[in-house]
A and B are shown apart, each in its own frame.
Chain A
């Protein structure tokens, strides 16, 4: 049964990518002997401190033993204990994941809305709308995320005082971060969507639909969008993975709690179990999205079903 086979291959490759990612990260973090103890000890130093730290976290064992222990625990769903926060990693992640998922979801929706509006309004409508759109897309994709955040802060928080400068409480606090994260993404998405729509508009079926008297905007919304969706979905899936990276920066600009802030602090304080958990989560997201995309392609494009 080819479908079952394909699903199994997909799952196996996904598991392999996750295992490889976390292994590479594990080896990189443990490659320098004594390094983790040095960072954990910080400025403190007295005889026996490093040994005590190593003893507490089992860092004095040989690397293969530590690795086997780590993999064994992950297999049973235990992500370990944070070196720095001294709490279960699963709880630390669970407490920080919601703000980031909210942020990423909202940013994704805003980006998709902007991209769709831009593509519907400007695809195949002559030179001037096209050059306006492509200039806008170029500026959006070429600006650093944090700089966009600064500009929005200056305009909406300091000048107009519409939104708070930082923090993570209330719906007002999420507006600017979400727009910040959405704008570069929307530029890329709009580019792909518009080009795909223009290609679809040249197809013979576009003439058929026009001959039925369907209006220019309706034809784009009802017919062209669906055709343009396939390439946009590929890019969109890739961008969702990038949103986590973007969240690190956006959360820093706006002083928001979340997975991005957690990652940044865990990486700089060598909180190995937390870093590995984030790596695992990122790899899982990547694998899950590419799998979901494969299913979504078939839903969007009936032509792929027969194959």
Chain B
């Protein structure tokens, strides 16, 4: 009895070898099924942007009144809307607007954030203070309010929506880049480059910028989804592209009137939007995990 008990205690106390899983050695597929699906969806989106006619059979703008509000069928997979237009074709053509506006907004945020962030992180305290307050002001506005102000000031159009969303995304990138720049400028390799007699400009271009910019791609990918959501909200409010443009937000706004009788004009564009945002989020996270693993 006591032997058994003794044996048990020793067993419990003995340093067990960590299992393969605990040591992080378990084999993992390089890409999970979800990420592969996300990549495939993005490829599909790219086809829809570049050649929408190849995956849709109808004109997204021309409707047939006799065919209005048809439920999904073999002829119209996603049904038809109030004006008898094919919802599938409109969703496919809509990818172009949502994606292009979303990506341009992201690029504006990246450009603004990188320039301001690098300056704030490198220059003297006053520049840093000033730029940090700019970030504070930009983020003190709820992004919808900021976007509303910009759109009303510049007028409702696709370009202006991109500018509006892009502006409100600047602090997100700016703060990360600033923090990174402050880290990198203190790094040994930067000091060494100066000791070797490199000029400020050369150190900036060859050492600082590349190391600061590594922080950007992950947030940029994740930001595409956020930007696409924000764009759809503005077009839903009637501040972006105008009907009959087959933009997803516009389609959803139009579907509000027929919500009582037909679910398909609102469900499918919404699904497309959600799937797009999820796809970019999944890819962004996979990138993030990849970089984190490499950094270790």
Contact = CB atoms under 8 A, between A and B. Distances in A.
Interface of A: 13, 16-18, 20-21, 24-25, 28-29, 31-32, 138-139, 141-147, 150-151, 153-154, 158, 241-242, 244-246, 248-249, 252-253, 263-264, 267-268, 270, 275, 278-279, 282-283, 286-287
B139 interface: yes
Interface residues of B, number: 37
A279 to B, nearest CB: 7
B236 A249 contact: yes
Contacts of A138: 278, 281-282
A224 to B, nearest CB: 22
B120 interface: no
Nearest to A28: B153
Interface string B247-266: 00100100110011001001
A5 to B, nearest CB: 17
Secondary structure at the B interface, as helix, strand, loop or mixed, is helix
B144 interface: yes
B225 to A, nearest CB: 7
A144 B140 contact: no
A283 B141 contact: yes
B233 A279 contact: no
A38 B157 CA distance: 19
B274 A143 contact: yes
10 contacts: A17-B136, A29-B149, A139-B274, A141-B281, A146-B233, A147-B274, A154-B259, A244-B145, A245-B142, A252-B236
A242 to B, nearest CB: 6
A248 B149 contact: no
Contacts of B252: 144, 146-147, 150
B278 A282 contact: no
B148 A242 contact: no
B137 A150 contact: no
B225 A245 contact: no
B259 A150 contact: yes
Nearest to A286: B140
A28 B153 CA distance: 7
B84 interface: no
A6 B77 CA distance: 62
B273 interface: yes
A146 B140 contact: no
Contacts of A249: 144, 233, 236-237
Contacts of B281: 138, 141-142
Given A146-B236, A245-B145, A283-B140, 19 more contacts: A28-B153, A144-B252, A146-B233, A147-B252, A150-B266, A150-B270, A242-B143, A244-B142, A245-B143, A248-B145, A249-B144, A252-B237, A263-B148, A264-B148, A268-B152, A270-B152, A279-B149, A282-B145, A283-B137
B277 interface: yes
Given A139-B278, A144-B236, A264-B237, A248 B140 contact: no
Contacts of B153: 28-29, 31-32
A244 B149 CA distance: 15
Contacts of A267: 148-149, 152
Contacts of B150: 28
Contacts of B145: 244-245, 248, 263, 278-279, 282
B142 A150 contact: no
Contacts of A264: 148, 237
A55 to B, nearest CB: 24
B283 to A, nearest CB: 12
Contacts of A147: 252, 266, 270, 273-274
B232 interface: yes
B137 A20 contact: yes
B262 to A, nearest CB: 10
Contacts of B44: none
B42 interface: no
A129 to B, nearest CB: 17
A286 B145 CA distance: 13
B203 interface: no
Contacts of B141: 21, 279, 282-283
A16 to B, nearest CB: 7
A24 B152 CA distance: 14
A252 B266 CA distance: 16
A286 B277 contact: no
Contact of A142 (B225, B233, B267): B225
A270 B155 CA distance: 12
Leading 6 A-B pairs by shortest Cβ distance? A245-B144, A245-B142, A147-B270, A142-B277, A286-B140, A283-B140
Contacts of A268: 152
B233 A287 contact: no
B280 to A, nearest CB: 9
User: Which of the listed residues A142, A253, A264, A283 has the most CB atoms from chain B within 10 Å of its own CB?
Assistant: A142
A25 B263 contact: no
B163 to A, nearest CB: 13
B215 interface: no
B198 interface: no
B294 to A, nearest CB: 21
B133 interface: yes
User: Which of the listed residues A16, A31, A252 has the most CB atoms from chain B within 10 Å of its own CB?
Assistant: A252
Interface string B120-146: 000000000000010011011111110
Contacts of B148: 248, 263-264, 267
